[in-house]
Amino acid sequence: MTSPHHVALISAFPQSQILGIGRTGLVVRQLEGQTAIKYPLRWSTSSEEEVQGNIESIQHEQAIYQRLEHCAGIVPFFPVSSTATSTTLRLMETGDLRSYLSQKTNNPNPPRSRQLSWFRTMAHALSQIHDRRVIVGDIATRNFLLDAEFTVWMCDFTESVLLPLDTDMQRAEWAGYSIHTDIGQLGAVLYEVVTGEKCDFAIFADLPAESSSSSGSGIWPRREDLPGTEGIWLGSVIERCWTRGVESAFALWVELEAEALEVEVEVEDENSLGKRRSLSRDLGLDLNSSLGLLRLGTVCLATVAVGAIAGYVWSRRR
């Protein structure tokens, strides 16, 4: 067992290097290299028992990262020994998603294409996590990081549950957490990104204090305690995440992939229409009239024909 005496006080780290402080650890940017290190949290007032608990939390998370090694969408982790008291991760330059979204003056609402890219990555990562027999237990925008290219990565598995590899994940549950609560929490992340309003899917919110402390098991949030989804983009998807209407993270990923294809088709159609409108303005045609559309089609065909003839003539001259 590692002695808490070997854990540095939080005051030992320059404020400029501290990237984040959680319940059991703090993340510090390394001065050299593109890495960040997560240390057990130790305040000047922390007891030996508290620090020891934070060490065990870090080591538990290391075991989770090792189980999830090579999973796409998970912050890259540098393996360490089972007795190590710190975790080395790849540095994510843009910071956490919640902070990024809160900077509305500098960052307008991300375009739908970027949001969908994030959502697809999140759902695919969660599907792989469940395949590795892990329940995350704490999925929130603060636990997603953005790199310099704004690619999203999942992090923070201190609350996660490491299950035997032969576990039936559809039935698995621990203290109220399951793959279904993970999906519910991911639905809250989707809602927060789409609307810009903070949202938490909390399974302990409706429990009396004495009940949650004695049984240690949460319950599914009441629907009325979550915001409405009518009229918002992806509202039906979010609604089903919150009402057990999504069977698995893989099914959610498939649905989001289909949504991405629809968005790509819409964008392509809009770009094509924009090009046609630009050409019609240049030629003085009216796209709202049948004659205008006919003339535009004739112009396009003529352009293709002229290009083909010119190409043929040029090739004959060579």
Angle between helical axes of 235-242 and 179-195 (0-180°, round to 10): 150
pLDDT score recorded for residue 262: 78
pLDDT score recorded for residue 182: 98
Looking at the domain 1-91, which fold is it?
Phosphorylase Kinase; domain 1 (3.30.200)
Q: Where are the domains of the chain?
A: 1-91, 93-281, 285-318
Q: Residue 244 — left, alpha, or beta (φ > 0 → left; ψ -120 to 50 → alpha)?
A: left
| Distance separating alpha carbons of residues 227 and 197, to the nearest angstrom | 10
For 72-101, write each residue's pLDDT tens digit: 999 999 987 778 889 999 999 999 999 999
Within the chain, what is the greatest distance between any pair of CA atoms? 91
Type and span of the H or E element at 29: strand 25-29
Find the length of the chain. 318
Looking at the domain 93-281, which fold is it?
Transferase(Phosphotransferase); domain 1 (1.10.510)
Tokens matching residue 109: 């609402």
For 199-215, write each residue's pLDDT tens digit: 999 998 766 655 544 45
Q: Is the pTM of this model over 0.95?
A: no
Place of tokens 């190590």: 84
